[in-house]
Structure 1
Amino acid sequence: MKNKKIIKKNFEFQEIISKQEFYRNSSFVIYYTKNDKEYFRYGISVGKKLGNAVMRNKIKRQIRMMIQNQIKTSFEFSYDIIIIARNRMMQNSFDQNQKELKKLIVKFLK
């Protein structure tokens, strides 16, 4: 079964980022745009400056877990969001990163 809630295509990432609507803090940047679907979708981006492939995949897994814990993918809003990890994320613990992502999500939902 294909997961419809994940953004994977490069052109979709570029389209969302080009709208220039975002929130940021020291660990994350969240770009967002309204979509025409009845559910929200998310994409995760981790740059090559953050480490080798193993480290980048670990960061992506952690962000996915944070999203599952906080957003629960059952929101009734229809947005596409892109979460970009920043260097500061590597220095913080998982709990600190989760709190920072939650703060951004709260800003985004208001």
Structure 2
Amino acid sequence: MKKFGLAAAAVIAGVVLLANLGPMVGLAVSVAILYYVAKKFMKAETKGMKILWGVLGLIMMAASISNAPAIIGVAAAFVLYLIYKNWNKAKKTEMDNDPFVNFEREWAKLK
């Protein structure tokens, strides 16, 4: 039953990830351009160039903010990673946590 729940969650997270793939790419591109614009703004020497880079920076910041739903896609990718990591994880029983059972197992290894 656990595998069914994990599979259902993986399907839902995959659909959410695919639905937000466009905004994720848009966010990555706009943030990269915004970084480049900020570097150019700092290096600009004249006021006219600073104003130009500042206006372009504001436009790119608006584009980045408009792609904010991409954070949901990143969360879905993280959920998919957790599901992949926990897919074949064995269940620990209470016997594995019992210190006396572990002591007996270790004692048998020493002999």
Q: Could you state the TM-score of these two structures normalised by the residue count of structure 1?
A: 0.24
Q: Which has the higher strand share?
A: 1
The structure whose residues are more often helix, as a share, is: 2
Task: Output the TM-score relative to the length of structure 2.
Answer: 0.23
Larger Rg: 2
